Chains A and B, each alone.
Chain A
Amino acid sequence: MKKKFEIELKRLKREPGLDEHERILLARSLSATPQERWDAHENFLRSLGLFEHWKRKEFGFK
């Protein structure tokens, strides 16, 4: 995955209008498989305590 990320990052360096943060974010996402993308998405929600719907209610989500 690291190699694919580096290839993607190199490719994105040629893209105008992207800052470093955007390049890294996009390179991580585009170099991942769909399963890796989904796992990252779920991990992100979990890290914020937003994965379970009943927990989200505590934060004021409907």
Chain B
Amino acid sequence: MSAAILQGVPATTLDTDLWVELPARQYVRVLAVVQKLGGAILARTVVALKDDSLVNFLYRIDGIGSFGEEFELAKEVSLGGCRVRVLPIERIIASKRHVGRPKDIAHLPLLEQVLALLSKRGGGSRTAKRGGG
């Protein structure tokens, strides 16, 4: 839901999902970076960063395209002085609908409501569609 929050969905989440373009078997490489940054490893894909926020690393996301395909469609937002690419709300909806767990289904009405509001005004609230590069 972090990507949705950044795009204007009034929601909250207890962890941030980060999609990494690496085979899942290479998770150790990601964990090494986390350790270098002072984070704590809680599980193979779950870490607590230095500020105690939780991050969940994903190596695939079901119900949507490949990392490369989705990267091209991603929206770019500014966060913490960095440019961050996030899945557009419609792609988050596609993934949650595919996964279909109760907690994913529960998010759909709010996601769809905000998407409908944003669509009426022609796309993005205060996020820019990714430029080149």
Binding site for B on A (CB under 8 A): 11-12, 15, 25-26, 28-35, 37-38, 41-42, 44-45, 50-54, 56, 61
Min CB distance, A4 to chain B, in Å? 8
Min CB distance, A58 to chain B, in Å? 13
B117 within 8 A of A: yes
Contacts of A34 in B (CB 8 A): 6-7, 77-79, 126-127
Binding site for A on B (CB under 8 A): 5-14, 42, 48, 52-54, 77-80, 113-114, 117-118, 121, 125-127
CA A51 – CA B8 in complex, angstroms? 20
Min CB distance, B104 to chain A, in Å? 17
Question: Are B14 and A35 touching (Cβ within 8 A)?
Answer: no
Q: What DSSP secondary structure best describes chain B's contact surface?
A: loop
Contacts of A37 in B (CB 8 A): 5-6, 8
CA A25 – CA B5 in complex, angstroms? 12
Identify which of B10, B48, B52, B127 contacts A29 (C-beta below 8 A): B10
Question: Are A61 and B125 touching (Cβ within 8 A)?
Answer: no
Identify which of A11, A15, A30, A53 contacts B52 (C-beta below 8 A): A53
Contacts of A42 in B (CB 8 A): 53
Contacts of B10 in A (CB 8 A): 25-26, 28-29
Question: Are B79 and A30 touching (Cβ within 8 A)?
Answer: no
Question: Are B6 and A45 touching (Cβ within 8 A)?
Answer: no
* A26-B113, A26-B117, A34-B78 given; 13 more Cβ-contact pairs under 8 Å: A30-B8, A31-B126, A32-B126, A34-B126, A35-B79, A35-B80, A37-B8, A38-B79, A41-B12, A42-B53, A44-B12, A52-B52, A56-B14
Contacts of B78 in A (CB 8 A): 33-35
